[in-house]
Structure 1
Amino acid sequence: INVCFNVAYSTVSFDISGLTVRTPSGPAVVRLGSSGVLPCYVNNRLLEQIRKVEWRRTDSETLVHLYQDGESRAESQQQDYHDRAHFFTDQIQHGNFSLRLDNLRAEDEGRYTCKVYRQEDSVSLAKLNLELRLLVSGSSRSISASVGEDITLNCSVDSHITPEHIEEVSWRKTDKDEDILVLLYQNNQTLSDSSDERYRDRVEFFTAEISKGNFSLRLKSIRTEDKGDKGVYTCQVFAGGLSAYATAVLDQLGFSLSHIMVLILCISASGSALLLCCLIYCRSHDKGCAFTSLIAVCSNVFTQR
């Protein structure tokens, strides 16, 4: 989960009694856990007249950071912002009073005001909305596979978020009115025993990739019932009080070359050998219900003969 300030470059300027303050025209959209910048620029020709600059939360009047009497006053910050809110000290001489927020949290979301005080007045002009986003990405293409193959369903969480900050990742399959738990990651561990019995021992995460935010699912020995009604699998992520999801679609299932060869042999057989051929192959490969349709085809051919 990452908070990433994606601030518009266009700005709005306010000029009151010669004091100009510039701020972006749109909200700052950031990824949870990362750093972001709330811009605020003052006409540097009037720097000598500025006695104080405050950044506050508009909703609570919480003091986020303070510049006064020519220097930053970190000791005046509200406790939650200690060591997380900073001015660009070397840029103040150029009129840059932008605020950098580190290690962004869900509770940081809200409206912020940059308030500039001159000797005789103050101007509350630079107001910005800070919006947090939890970014979870999957695959834009549906997946086609053959029965018996292994496939990967993609799901990635923005790399700014470390595994210990991820509260839960669940893979689920929605099929008609049924919500099936495929695999669950919770409290920094994979809970394989919580998987629906239809998926138990057939699903896993790529353990070495979890630290990189990769929660892709490996589904082994695909069966026909794995597609079900719609074949939609959802990766739901909870982190930092936010949630987001990505989907993967299992679109088409076919038979592999070995399955087709078995079918051909069955069709060419006669008598009881026809059905026996299919049954022996299915049982020896432990495919269970995955070959129900194959057996049905063989049986139909036998009946017709």
Structure 2
Amino acid sequence: MISFGLVVHGPSSPLVAPLGSSVVLPCYVNELLLMEGLEVEWRRTDSNTLVHLYQDGQSRPESQQEDYHDRAHFFTDQIQRGNFSLRLDNLRAEDEGRYTCRVYSQRDSGETVVEIKDAVSGSSRSISASEGEDITLNCSVDSHIMLDEVSWKKTDEGEVILVLLYQNNKTLSDSAHERYRDRVEFFTAEIPKGNFSLRLKSVRTEDKGVYVCQVFAGGLSDSVTVVLERLGES
């Protein structure tokens, strides 16, 4: 939050949203402003590209950079209440980054910066293993995100099996399906760094399949997939 006399509020942490979804970039003030002379502009912080503009009592989609046509929208009925948030639809990989919301009133101005980032990363590939060995399925989360839940699930063969769950800042080992009980664990010391990789011990033939690490944060979610493809003899 940056103030030049007008206090403009935004989120306290980066926004997490999956590709193709809609995400709301919060920007608001706690005081009623005169509509006359009010101007609000959203820009990419890195390139100064104009994402959307509110001016002279209405939104100005014709001023938007082409990439944001029909994708970036104000909540126009909320602007008179001090809500200048922006809805960005059909989220793309190139939308990741920082956005500045600048508000100009007759007397003061202020701004806040909102960041969209891809919160989850991992191998997203096929791996192979030998029966009886221990393997690691990779999944990392941005450590600045306030997490609600992280789950590992096996999702192939027409069924979904819960492999391990992290919820309310705790690893719930008892949540594991009996097939994985006492064979799966997080790297506990790495969790504060955002590392939610899964250690799977004593790999068996029936472990072969698709594993999904899904992260929930602030009502949004993202995931990474790892396929345990081949099992050879140890």
CA distance change for structure 1 residues 182 and 8 in 2, over 3 Å: closer, same or farther?
Answer: same
**Match of residue 125 from structure 2:** 141
Unaligned 5+ segments in structure 1 are: 17-22, 28-55, 66-110, 119-129, 257-305
Query: Does 1:60 find its partner at 2:78?
Result: yes
Cα deviation, 1:195-245, whole Å, max 9, x if unaligned, reads: 100000000000001001111000000000000xxx110011111121111
Unaligned 5+ segments in structure 2 are: 1-12, 17-42, 56-62, 69-73, 85-99, 108-113
What secondary structure sits across from 1:210 in the alignment? helix
Shift of 1:194: 1.1
**Match of residue 227 from structure 2:** 249
1:137-216 to 2 correspondences below 5 Å: 137-161=121-145, 165-216=146-197
Shift of 1:114: 3.4
What secondary structure sits across from 1:208 in the alignment? helix
Q: Percent identity?
A: 63
**Conserved in 1, the CA contact under 8 Å of 2:14 and 2:115?**
no
What secondary structure sits across from 2:125 in the alignment? coil
Q: How many Å separate the matches in 2 of 1:166 and 1:237?
A: 8
* AA of the residue aligned to 1:212: K
**Conserved in 2, the CA contact under 8 Å of 1:203 and 1:219?**
yes
**Match of residue 40 from structure 1:** none
**Conserved in 2, the CA contact under 8 Å of 1:182 and 1:203?**
yes
RMSD after superposition = 4.1
1:278-293 to 2 correspondences below 5 Å: none
What secondary structure sits across from 2:189 in the alignment? helix
Q: How many Å separate the matches in 1 of 2:77 and 2:201?
A: 51
**Conserved in 1, the CA contact under 8 Å of 2:125 and 2:225?**
no
Q: How many Å separate the matches in 1 of 2:184 and 2:207?
A: 12
Cα deviation, 1:234-287, whole Å, max 9, x if unaligned, reads: 01111112111111111111011xxxxxxxxxxxxxxxxxxxxxxxxxxxxxxx
Shift of 1:189: 0.5
**Conserved in 2, the CA contact under 8 Å of 1:169 and 1:237?**
yes
* AA of the residue aligned to 1:152: T
Match of 1:233 among 211, 216, 231: 211
CA distance change for structure 1 residues 208 and 24 in 2, over 3 Å: closer, same or farther?
Answer: farther
Match of 1:114 among 103, 112, 125: 103
Higher RCO, 1 vs 2 (CA within 8 Å, ≥6 residues apart): 2
Q: How many Å separate the matches in 2 of 1:204 and 1:6?
A: 40
- Report the number of matched residues: 165
Q: How many Å separate the matches in 2 of 1:195 and 1:137?
A: 23
Structure with larger Rg: 1
**Match of residue 279 from structure 1:** none
CA distance change for structure 1 residues 243 and 190 in 2, over 3 Å: closer, same or farther?
Answer: same
Match of 1:9 among 47, 50, 66: 47
Instruction: Return the TM-score normalized by structure 1.
Output: 0.46
What secondary structure sits across from 1:221 in the alignment? coil
**Conserved in 2, the CA contact under 8 Å of 1:224 and 1:253?**
yes
Instruction: Return the TM-score normalized by structure 2.
Output: 0.58
